[in-house]
Amino acid sequence: MFQQLKRSRDVPWDEVFEVWRASEGSDPVWQELAKKKGWDSWEAWRGNQVAIFGADKRRWTLYEITEPNVIIPAMRIGPFKGWQEHFQEKNRHTFEDLVREQTSWVASNVGVRARLASFPPRTQFIGLFVKQDQTIVLFEGHHRAAAIALAVAQGQPIVFDALPTIALTEYEGDIQPILDQMLNPVSFMEEHITLTTTDQVSIAAVYRQASEQKIAILLHMMPATKESWEGFAQHLGDAGYASLAIDERGHGESTMGGTLDYQKFTDVQQQAKRLDVEAAIDYAHTHGFSDAQIVMIGASIGANLAIQALGDHPEIPVAVALSPGLDFRGIQTEPLIKALKKTRHVLLVASDDDTYSFETVSRLHALNPTQTILIERSGIGHGTAMTDRDPKLIGELVAKMKFDTFKADF
């Protein structure tokens, strides 16, 4: 099948996604479906789906489909429940199989019928070429592909005004776990635990399991608690990440019976939160995660602590810093950013209405532009208030910190 495609050119993921957005994301029906699924926008919904296989970091190539009435029906159906529910064995069937086994459903499908009545003169699909079995898994264009397969089966193949194209990326190895995860995003188990620091402070935490061997450690801002990460943790779980959110000392349930109050802390006591972070990393280690499988995510002072953790653990690949400061209670970020190990990266995020952090991220990025990614927003506040007010930002961050064999690759 792959050999029958005619290579056109390499194409950036942003262009591929924009074509998808133009064909589907601009449709109010699809926009409403995204919201019904709990997403703020179509872009956030679809972006999170393809983040599972790191679409934005992959090399994409555009091909002409030279024999569309032969090649497209033989493509595998993508990991979407509305299409996979017709098969007992999921993520293994082609559009030919679907038409053969579910002819009446395909023929009565409104989207398929619309394409049969008026097939677009120019059309582009998106898919994965699986080198292991030389198949193509379709990710965008299912109604069009089903219409083509049905027309062929009925002996009335579509006459194309122009050859369809497909944007493909190659995937080596077993694609099945990725497809299964995309079809059934993991519902993670939640466990409330207590960690003990080296200075004997009890730290309350929530550990959420997930499907892959990677974990995000979540460090809140002041005056927040571990609960401020609940929405973020759900997105992380959907993308395969376990997560560990802690109540830093003096916050939430980590007050040692009311004897610790962050509002009364000296700078030295605030800096001791470094030990809380170490306890969280130790817990990740006991659950089989190496430093290379950990992502640090923090807000405000938690952002500074997250960056600091990269200095303490040079094998941790990524930190996400929401509204960091140059100096929060003596935790300084400039020397940490300057000293980043070559393969470490920090996502620096701030909103322009938070002047101090907005100026901070710009300055930190200028200090080390090759190892930091600057993400600026407007009018959405400080720390996790940004992701509360702009949930699609979470999907963007998860996509940008996506592991490639559990290593950051920007």
- For the entire predicted model, the pTM comes to 0.57
Average pLDDT value for residue range 303-312: 95
323 vs 185, residue with greater confidence: 323
Residue 65 CA to residue 220 CA, distance in Å, equals 50
CA distances to 49, 60, 145, 197, 404 from 167, in Å: 17, 6, 14, 50, 21
Give the per-residue pLDDT at 188.
55
Taking each continuous run of H as one helix and of E as one strand, the counts in the chain are: 18, 17
Cβ neighbours around 294 below 10 Å, total: 26
3-state secondary structure of 139: strand
Phi, psi of 228 (to 5 degrees): -65, -10
Distance between alpha carbon 290 and the CA centroid of its chain, in Å?
21
Residue 6 has pLDDT above 60, yes or no: yes
**Please, what is the average pLDDT of the chain?**
90
CA dihedral 172, 175, 178, 181 (to 10 degrees): -170
Per residue in 252-289, pLDDT (tens digit) is 999 999 999 999 999 999 999 999 999 999 999 998 89
Please, what are the domains in the chain? 2-183 (no CATH), 190-408 (3.40.50.1820)
**Phi, psi at 51, each rounded to 5°:** -65, -25
Residue 403's pLDDT is what? 45
What pLDDT sits at residue 37? 67
Q: Look at 38-47, 210-219, 387-396 and tell me which has the smallest mean pLDDT.
A: 38-47
- Checking if the pLDDT of 370 tops 80, the result is yes
Quickly count: other Cβ atoms within 10 Å of residue 155's Cβ: 6
Q: What is the mean pLDDT of residues 241-261?
A: 94
